[in-house]
Amino acid sequence: MHVQPMPGLPPLPTLPENPSLLARLRVGLQTLQVLKVEPTNPAFGALFYDSVEIGRCAELARQFSRHAEGRRLLAEKPSLSAGELDLEGMEKLQPGTFGHEFARYYREKGLQPIETLSPPKNDAQYLAKRLRETHDFIHLVTGYGTDVMGEMEVQAFSLGNLHLRTSLIILLNTAREVPQQIPGFDAAVYMRRLWAAFRRGADSRQFASFRWEDHWATPLALLREQLVAPAEEWN
C-alpha cells in the first residue's frame, strides 16, 4: 500500500510479508496511535485491521462459506465505502427508516463515510474492510453514543459479538486515558457498563454477515428489535 499520510502524521508503517503475530501487533499499536488522533484515516485504519484482525477475518470467511447468507456476501462483496453511499438520497427516505436515520446521524455528527484506498485481495481483507465500513452502524442500532463512553461500549459490544482483537486492543490501550476523558469518571460504573455491553454483544445476532444495504427502508426500531439484545437500564 503506497499512501502518503496527511501532513503532520508519521509515515505509514510497513507490514512485512508473512508477519509473525508479534510483528502484526507492533504495527497495529503504531497505527492505533494515529487513529486516536484521526479515527477515519483510511490508510492507517486499513493497516490497523490488516495487521491485527486478518486472522479473525480469515476465520469468519471460513464460517461464512458454511451458510447461505455468508456465501452470498463473499460472492457479491457489496461495498459500503464512501463512493457507494448516497447519503442525500437516504435522507429523503421515510423518517425512522434505517437509511434516513443513518444519513441524519452522519450529518448531525459531522462524520464522513469510510473511504477504501486499495481494493481487498481476498475474502479476509474484504471482511476487514466491511468491519471498518459498518462500525458506525453499531452505534446507530445499539444506541451507544459517539462520546468516549459510547465508543468504549461499542468496542466492548463488538468484542462480545465478533471476538475482535482490535476491540480488545483499543479497550486496553485507552485504559489510562479514559478516566481523564469522561466527566465524573467512576471506575466501578465504567467497568459495569463495559461488561453489560460485552454481554449484550454476545447475546445479539452476529453482525458480520448482515446485509445492511438491503435494509435502508426498514424501520430502525425493527432492526434494533431483530438484531440487538435489550440494553440494561442505567439510573
> Domain boundaries in the chain?
79-227
Residue type, 105: Y
Read off φ and ψ for residue 96, nearest 5 degrees.
95, -15
Cα-only R_g, the chain: 18
pLDDT at 142: 97
Take residue 218 and report the three cell numbers written for it: 426498514
Per-residue pLDDT reduced to its tens digit, 137-186: 999 999 999 999 999 999 999 999 999 988 998 899 899 999 999 999 99
Q: DSSP character for 219? A: B
Question: How many CB atoms neighbour CB 96 within 10 A?
Answer: 12
For CA atoms 84, 87, 92, 97, give the dihedral sign: positive
Percentage of residues of the chain with pLDDT beyond 70: 96
pLDDT at 4: 41
Alpha carbon distance 204, 223 (integer Å): 12
